[in-house]
Amino acid sequence: MARLRPVLTLTGTLRRHARILAFRGFVAAVVVGGMALVLWWTGAGAWLWEFFSDRERIQQLVRSAGPLAPVVYMSLLVLQAVVAPLPAPVVAAAGGYCFGLWEGFFLTWLGALLGGVGCFWLSRVFGRGAIVATEPLSERLDRFADAHGALLIFILRLIPLISFDAISYGAGLSGIPFWKFVVATALGMAPGTFVFVYLGGASPGWGVWTALVGLAALAIVAYYTYFKILGPKRRPT
C-alpha cells in the first residue's frame, strides 16, 4: 500500500488539474456567450462593427487623441483582435493615413501583435482546459502543433482572407509554445500589414494595384505551400 501512495497522489493531482482546466473552459464559454448576448441585445455589437468599418471615424478618433494618438490607435487594434470578429484592414488603412507608411506600419504591426498575444493567452488560460479534458484529441493536436504549428501559423498569416483572430484563438487551444506563436505571427503578418497600411496613405494609381497584386500573389503561394507541406497526409491523426 505504501508503494502505491505516490502513484495515487499523482493520479489525484492530475485529476484535480484536469477538473480545474475543464472548469476554466466552462467559465470561458459562459463569459463569451454572455458577452455575445449583451452585444447583440444592446446593439453594441452592431455599433462596433459599423465603427471599425468606417475609416473616417477611426481617423477622427485617433487624430483627436493628440500626443496619445499612437496609444489610442494600438488600443483599437487590440480591441479589434480580442472582440472578434471585427474588420482589421480598415483600421490598418487608417493607420497609414494618420501616421504615414513607416510609422503606421510599425504601430499597426505592434498593435496587431499585441492583440494576437491577447487572444492567444485568453484561449490558452480559459479554453485549453476543454481540449486537455478530451485526452486523445489533445494528444493529437499537440503532436501536430509541435511538428507543424509554427509553420502553419506563419503560412496562414500570409493569407489575408483568413481570420487573424481565429488563428490566434486556435493556437491558444493547442500546445504550441508561446514564443513560436509570437515569431510566426510577427513574421507572417508583416507583408499584409505593410500593404494595408500603404493603401491607407497612398493615392490611387499603379502603386495601389501593384500592392494588391503582390499581396494576392503572396496569398496564392502561401495557400499552395500549405497544401504541399501541410496537406491531408500531415494533418492530425
DSSP 138-153: HHHHHHHIIIIIHHHH
pLDDT at residue 10, as a whole number: 40
Spatial separation of the C-alpha atoms in residues 71 and 108, rounded to whole Å: 11
Q: Which helix (H) or strand (E) holds 178?
A: helix 178-188
Tens-digit pLDDT profile for residues 144-181 = 777 778 888 998 898 877 888 889 998 988 888 999 99
pLDDT number for residue 65: 93
- Is the predicted pLDDT of residue 60 greater than 90, yes or no? yes
pLDDT at 117: 96
Specify burial of residue 97 (Cβ count, 10 A radius: 0-12, 13-18, 19+).
buried
Mean confidence (pLDDT) of the chain = 77
Q: How many domains are contained in the chain?
A: 1
Question: pLDDT digit string (tens) for 217-226?
Answer: 887 887 777 7
Q: Does the reported pTM lie above 0.85?
A: no
Rounded Cα gap, residues 214 and 56, in angstroms: 26
Cell numbers found for residue 65:
487623441
Do residues 225 and 130 touch, judged by C-beta distance below 8 A? no
By residue range, what is the domain housing residue 184? 4-234
Long-range contacts for 27-36 (Cβ within 8 Å, ≥24 apart)? 27/126, 28/122, 28/126, 28/127, 28/130, 29/130, 31/126
Reported as a single tens digit per residue, the pLDDT across 124-141 is 888 777 666 666 666 777
Amino acid 213: pLDDT: 82
Could you tell me the pLDDT band of residue 44, with boundaries at 50, 70 and 90? Answer: low
